[in-house]
Amino acid sequence: MATATAVCSLENYLLLPDSTMDERIAAARGALGRECVVLGHHYQRDEVIRFADYRGDSYKLAQQAARAGGKYIVFCGVHFMAESADVLSRPGQVTVLPDLNAGCSMADMAEITQVENCWEHLVAAGLTDDSGAGVTPITYMNSTAAIKAFCGERGGVVCTSSNADGAFQWGFAKTPKLLFLPDQHLGRNTGYNLGIPLNEMVVWDPYMLNGGLTPDRLRQAKVILWKGHCSVHQRFLPEHVDNVRAKYPGIRVIVHPECRWEVCQKADGIGSTEGLLKIIREAPSHTMFAVGTEIHLVNRMGKEFADEGKKVITLDDSGCLCTTMFRISPQHLCWALENLAEGNIVNQIKVKDDVKHWAKVALDRMLEIQ
């Protein structure tokens, strides 16, 4: 991380009201011109994402990061996304994360030493060699650069919820087994969608001896799922689907594939954030949707499609926001941009060169898979 002397301490910015940030952010953007591109994930709050040059899910933003011109990429997302942007960026480009505390609880559920220990067990069991000749490792975008590099070096790939089906098919064309991490729900839903029975998918628990699995279970499995999940999407339950259908007859329930298998089976449609938007966009007017994903995106959908007579509500009335995405505020964005306008780089995300090489191999493979 490279941090120069700041124009003003972040603490001073955080004392200012949101309403004072808009003009300052716009002025800093104007001063930076084409030297800066701002990327915003769909789960960001409205006060931040309004300033994004490009908004999307992690797959779409990875594509934009790879194409970005200029010197600075300011990523309004979480740490693993900014790492991927740095990996895909060109020499001389700088990636900035406005708040370094914007992490991902799912990504934290798979630590590189745990993954290495799991792989050593698979090698010792004779299921693969260290190059990945028998098992293809696939990691979800929501993982550290070190784990992306681990997969790249062993013939594996990164995927997002947009192209997980393609990544699984790509992996099975190479080997009879997959190791998928860190989101067990996306892995299970993807495998099941491709016709793999539930009893041929097992869960590796990094906190249990031998992952909590017998050698026979490992040999019989086609997909080894890591025991991880999204704290937002795992909160949606099958009874939420039943309740919303009872309350709103005829409503369409659409959910993100990070939701539990039981929830996805009850839903009318499953899609990444981009996929969910597409379903609503292409639906007839006056259609009503209950959406199982992060609350900021659901509320934004409700506003966006209201003029078309479409009603969009959350699947769970208690609401689910991504607390780490929520950390990036207009004050953080303003602080980062004004510093860049003054030539000061703050909160730079810089992946080590040896990790960057293999992580880029895995990410480049991802961008080739539809």
Same domain, 252 and 220: no
Q: What confidence score (pLDDT) does residue 68 get? A: 85
pLDDT digits (tens, 9 = 90+) for 141-194: 999 999 999 999 999 999 999 899 999 999 999 999 999 999 999 999 999 999
Does a structural domain hold residue 129? yes
Same domain, 121 and 199: yes
Same domain, 98 and 14: yes
Residues of the chain with pLDDT under 70: 1-7, 319-320, 370
Same domain, 209 and 279: no
Let me know how long the chain is.
Answer: 370
Sign of the C-alpha dihedral, residues 78, 84, 87, 91? Answer: negative
Look-up of token digits 């729900």:
185
Is the distance from CB of 45 to CB of 7 less than 8 angstroms? no
Same domain, 156 and 45: no
Find the angle CA(84)-CA(327)-CA(104) to the nearest 5 degrees. Answer: 45
Same domain, 305 and 263: yes
Is the distance from CB of 329 to CB of 81 less than 8 angstroms? no
Does a structural domain hold residue 364? no
Print the domain residue range for 33.
Answer: 10-103+325-354
Does a structural domain hold residue 50? yes
The domain that holds 204 is classified in CATH as 3.40.50
Both tokens of residue 141? 């975008």
Split into its structural domains, the chain has a count of: 3
- Cβ-based burial of 330 (10 A; exposed 0-12, middle 13-18, buried ≥19): buried
Does a structural domain hold residue 51? yes
Look-up of token digits 């084409």:
34
Same domain, 268 and 156: no
Residue 55 contacts by C-beta under 8 Å, 6 or more apart in sequence? Answer: 39, 40, 41, 42, 44, 49, 61
Same domain, 253 and 221: no
Does a structural domain hold residue 297? yes
Q: Which of 212, 230, 248 is the last residue of a domain?
A: 230
Same domain, 226 and 243: no
Residue 225 DSSP class: E
Q: Which of 195, 230, 265 is the last residue of a domain?
A: 230
Does a structural domain hold residue 134? yes
Does a structural domain hold residue 68? yes
Q: Which of 200, 230, 260 is the last residue of a domain?
A: 230
Does a structural domain hold residue 365? no
How far apart, in whole angstroms, are the C-alpha atoms of residue 222 and residue 160? 20
pTM of the model: 0.90
If you write DSSP's letter for every residue of 290-301 in order, what string do you get? EEES-HHHHHHH
The domain that holds 26 is classified in CATH as 3.40.50.10800
- Cβ-based burial of 172 (10 A; exposed 0-12, middle 13-18, buried ≥19): middle
Q: What confidence score (pLDDT) does residue 2 get? A: 45
